[in-house]
Amino acid sequence: MFENMQAIYLAIPLSCLFAAIVAGIFGRVIGRVGAHTITILGVATAFVLSIVVFRDVAAGNSFNGAIYTWAVSGGFPFEIGFLIDKLTATMMVVVTFVSFMVHIYSMGYMHEDAGYQRFFSYISLFTFAMLMLVMSNNFLQLFFGWEAVGLVSYLLIGFWFDRETAIFANLKAFLVNRVGDLGFLLGIACVFMYFGTLDYAAVFASAPGLVGETVSFFPGTEWNLFTVIGILLFIGAMGKSAQVPLHVWLPDSMEGPTPISALIHAATMVTAGIFMVARMSPLYELSETALSVIVIIGALTALLMALVGIVQNDIKRVVAYSTLSQLGYMTVALGVSAYSAAIFHLVTHAFFKALLFLAAGSVIIAMHHEQDMRKMGGLKNYMPITWFTALIGSLALAGVPPFAGFFSKDAIIEATHASHLFGSGFAYVAVTAGVFITALYSFRLMILTFHGNMRVDEHTRHHLKESPWTVWVPLLLLAIPSIFVGAIYMEDMLFGGFFGDAIQVRPEHDVLGQLAKEYHGATGWALLWAFFTHALKPGPLWLAIAGIAAAWFLYLEKPELPDRIRDRFRVAYDVLVRKYGFDEFYQLVFAGGARGLGRLFWKIGDVRLIDGAAVNGSARIIGWLSGVIRQVQSGYVYHYAFAMIIGVFLMMTWFLHR
């Protein structure tokens, strides 16, 4: 059995890699059908085997071992290996399931695209990279997966490479992520320096022994080792999981085809940072400073990005800002040590957000690639399945019981409330206010797209119809977990210690344990009931309902009201539309600054100083010096006399003050 399991672990990522290579290199030979057949077979294999692994670890098995030694330097081995535990297995199932759905969906969505084979090759390659990331048992391979998913994201955002906006967005995404990766790599270097290994288990085991160790960045400053490691690694997470201020790439990534927005920029890749911090819980638990930073960054992201979501008119961008905001929720959960709640929200979010994106994609196909919601409306009657599944996704996102998002989001809010960490008070306000805003923009999207007057032009209206089965079957299949996964796994994942040793929380940080006490150890249906009745008290649920009601009132009952509000609060509206000016600032200071500096170094440093001075410089200097000295010999007596007086004066001054 044990030997078999190892073969299965290997087969999961490799089936995707194999399919990606075949579809990528032999795409022209095997054709469209060949390409989607082999990649779907690959990811389906990975999904089924992931279920097998999930059942295996649920039965209590786990695995931690190397596959091969990547390199040895200075006597330290760097290995490629797998760590399979419940956290990994959960991620594997989520990744392969969503990827499987997206593969099927893409058959319909990418049907007319010239780059069909290339697309399937990329998404399979992505699945491989993401699996290597979550299955890693060491920091090095984590970084491999981390960068590899970034690469595929780059390739897919720029998939339509003749669109100027797309190839701008993919470069931007790659570079912003690289800024995060710089922090991440330094964090890894720091781990290596102090622990002498990059293996998770070894690092976690020796971590408690290094408490009190400090790192000095500037002479005279001593920083706690775990604070430094925690913040450096988190900078990487800020890039990948798009936290303020490194979030700017994610909205632009919507230039990519919609299926990959669902897979990469909502369900899986952007949650890599969340996964990473949860995986590193034994390290983060040792630094409250790092946790505070995480809470504050997460809360800012959750609130600020949700607000921008209200003013967006592009259907995909609303969902994108919603993703940013929800990633902020997960980050807040990590910061208050509710790692399990963060992963639980990651899982539920993966399902309902992928669902929402794919539903948006379905609308976009029907609308002939029109994404502006102001030109939609009343689509409900034309595309009932899309409407129905989008409604489920929106209810789950808004946190309405019994949909999946209700349980995970409520747990995060309650956990934040229970925390005593610095910054958790602010975070509690932010995530609570976020509930109202989330419900508002979600249902604004629903109403503008599916309800109200039809604003579709005559030509498009003629062709409006429900999307083909390849599109709506994945929608239905994603709707099922979006409804049930919260209720089913709530008890285990939040309170049941489902993740076991994979997530470690110190007793004084154990906010979820505190919550469990509030339910008096209820289990099963009793716990569900307790959770539900608890929500009926004044709190998040009512805010969500208020948000939905506000959306209904503003966009359906009184559609002229939003415009009046906008005019009344022009300044606030402008700030939101300009996304707080991050883009302009970065474009001016960093992109412009680097180019300006480069030009300065090149023209002045290289061309003028080094080349100019080295080639002609010596001769020129001699010529210039002789010219200067010639000036001194002017032949006028008063010049010489004046020079003498100054000389005498200087000498006397020197003697007197010596």
Partner 1 sequence: MLLESVNLSVAIWLPILGAIAILASGSDANAQRVRWLSLIVAIAEFLITIPLYTRFDKTTAAMQFTEFHTWVPAFNINYSLGIDGIAMPLILLTSFLTIIVVISAWEIIKQRVAQYMAAFLIMEGLMIGVFSALDAILFYVFWEAMLIPMFLIIGIWGGPNRIYASIKFFLYTLLGSLLMLVGFIYLYYQSGNSFSILDYHQLPLALGAQILLFFGFFAAFAVKVPMFPVHTWLPDAHTEAPTGGSVILAAIMLKMGAYGFLRFNLPILPDASHELAGFMITLSLIAIVYIALVALVQEDMKRLIAYSSISHMGFVTLGFFIFNAQGVEGGIIQMISHGFISGALFLCVGVMYDRLHSRDIKDYGGVVHRMPIFAAFMMLFAMANAGLPATSGFVGEFLVIIGAFQANVWFAVAAGTTLVFGAAYTLWMYKRVIFGKIANEKVETLTDVTPREILFLALLAFAVLLMGVWPMPFLDVMHASVDNLLEHVAQSKLP
CB atoms within 10 A of CB 214: 12
Residue 340 near residue 498, CB atoms below 8 Å: yes
Q: Which residue has the tokens 């057949």?
A: 37
If the CB atoms of residues 557 and 606 are measured against partner 1, the closer one turns out to be 606
Helix (H, G, I), strand (E, B) or coil at 48: helix
Distances (CA, A) of 54 to 21, 92, 134, 141, 193: 27, 8, 14, 21, 35
Nearer to partner 1, 73 or 631 (CB): 73
Residue 584 touches partner 1, criterion: CB under 8 A: no
Q: Which is nearer to partner 1, 30 or 464 (CB)?
A: 30
Using the rule CB under 8 A, is 606 a contact of partner 1? yes
Task: Using CB under 8 A, pick the residue from 162, 458, 560, 563 that binds partner 1.
Answer: 162
Shortest Cβ 559–partner 1 spacing (Å): 39
Q: List binders of partner 1 among 67-106 (CB under 8 A).
A: 68-76
Surface-to-core class of residue 218, CB atoms within 10 Å of its CB (0-12 exposed, 13-18 middle, 19+ buried): exposed
Among 14, 151, 310, 488, binds partner 1 (CB under 8 A): 151
For 571-630, the DSSP string reads: HHHHHHHTGGGHHHHHIIIIIIHHHHHHHHIIIIIIIIIIIIIIIIIHHHHHHHHHHHHH
Residue 602 Cβ vs partner 1, minimum distance, rounded to whole Å: 4
Cα–Cα distance list, 71 to 79, 188, 195 (Å):
7, 16, 18
Please give the size of the binding site for partner 1, defined by CB under 8 A: 51
Kindly state whether residue 192 participates in binding partner 1, applying the rule CB under 8 A.
yes
Which residue's CB is nearer to partner 1, number 44 or number 182? Answer: 182
The least CB distance from residue 239 to partner 1, in Å, is 11
**Least Å from the CB of residue 249 to partner 1:** 13
Closest contact distance (angstroms) between CB of 10 and partner 1 is 15
Regarding 480 and contact with partner 1 (CB under 8 A), the answer is no
Nearer to partner 1, 28 or 658 (CB): 28
Residue number, 594 or 643, with CB nearest to partner 1: 594
589 binds partner 1 (CB under 8 A): no
Task: Report CA 646 to chain centroid distance, whole Å.
Answer: 70
Question: Could you say whether residue 217 binds partner 1 (CB under 8 A)?
Answer: yes
> Is-contact 49 6, C-beta < 8 A?
no
Find the shortest distance in angstroms from Cβ 264 to partner 1.
17
Could you say which DSSP state residue 369 is in? S
| Rounded distance between C-alpha atoms, residue 199 and residue 188, angstroms | 11
Amino acid at 652: M
- Binding partner 1 by CB under 8 A: which of 429, 565, 588, 594? 594
CB of 224 to partner 1, least distance (A): 15
- Among 498, 259, 503, 477, CA closest to 360: 259
How far apart, in whole angstroms, are the C-alpha atoms of residue 565 and residue 557? 15
Cα dihedral across residues 427, 308, 399, 355: positive or negative: negative
Decide whether 225 or 412 has the Cβ nearer to partner 1: 225
Backbone angles phi, psi at 66, to 5 degrees: -90, 150
CB of 606 to partner 1, least distance (A): 6
Query: Is residue 585 near partner 1 by the rule CB under 8 A?
Result: no
Calculate Rg over the CA atoms of the chain. 29
DSSP annotation of 115: T
**Residue where the block lists tokens 């309650």:** 414
* Site membership for partner 1, residue 525 (CB under 8 A): no
According to the binding rule CB under 8 A, does residue 599 interact with partner 1?
yes
Q: Which stretch binds partner 1 (CB under 8 A): 310-318, 423-431, 474-482, 601-609?
A: 601-609
What pairs with residue 77 in β-bridges? 72
CB of 57 closer than 8 Å to CB of 66: no
Nearest C-alpha neighbor of 183 from the set 237, 137, 227: 237
Considering the complex, state which of residue 235 and residue 364 has its C-beta at the smaller distance from partner 1: 235
610 binds partner 1 (CB under 8 A): yes
Q: Can you read off the two tokens belonging to residue 430?
A: 């932010």
Contacts of 42 (CB under 8 A, 6+ apart): 15, 16, 18, 19, 20, 124
Contacts of 139 (CB under 8 A, 6+ apart): 188, 191, 192, 198, 200, 203
Q: Which of 21, 148, 391, 433 binds partner 1 (CB under 8 A)?
A: 148
Q: For partner 1, which residue of 56, 147, 252, 414 counts as binding (CB under 8 A)?
A: 147
Q: Out of 11, 66, 190, 546, which residue is the one contacting partner 1 (CB under 8 A)? A: 190
Q: Which of 9, 63, 109, 174 binds partner 1 (CB under 8 A)?
A: 174
Q: What is the DSSP string of 279-292?
A: HTHHHHTT-HHHHH
**Residue 269 near partner 1 by CB under 8 A:** no
Choice from 597, 622, 644, 648 touching partner 1 (CB under 8 A)? 597
Rule CB under 8 A: say whether 649 interacts with partner 1: no
| Stretch 17-56 residues interacting with partner 1 (CB under 8 A) | none
User: Smaller CB distance to partner 1: residue 521 or 612?
Assistant: 612
Q: Based on the shown chain and the rule CB under 8 A, indicate whether residue 601 belongs to the binding site for partner 1.
A: yes
Q: Does 546 bind partner 1 (CB under 8 A)?
A: no
If one asks whether residue 193 binds partner 1 (CB under 8 A), the answer comes out as yes
Q: Binder to partner 1 among 81, 108, 158, 361 (CB under 8 A)?
A: 158
Q: Which residues contact 584 (CB under 8 A, 6 or more apart)?
A: 578
Nearest CB to partner 1, comparing residues 121 and 419: 121
Nearest CB to partner 1, comparing residues 168 and 552: 168
Is the backbone peptide bond immediately before 538 cis, with ω within 30 degrees of 0?
no
By beta-carbon proximity to partner 1, the closer residue of 22 and 541 is: 22
Tell me the per-residue interface mask from 116 to 145 with partner 1, x by CB under 8 A, - otherwise.
Answer: ------------------------x--xx-
The binding site for partner 1 (CB under 8 A) comprises 68-76, 140, 143-144, 147-148, 151, 154-155, 158, 161-162, 164, 167, 171, 174-175, 178-179, 181-182, 185-186, 188-190, 192-193, 215-217, 594-595, 597-599, 601-602, 605-606, 610-611, 614
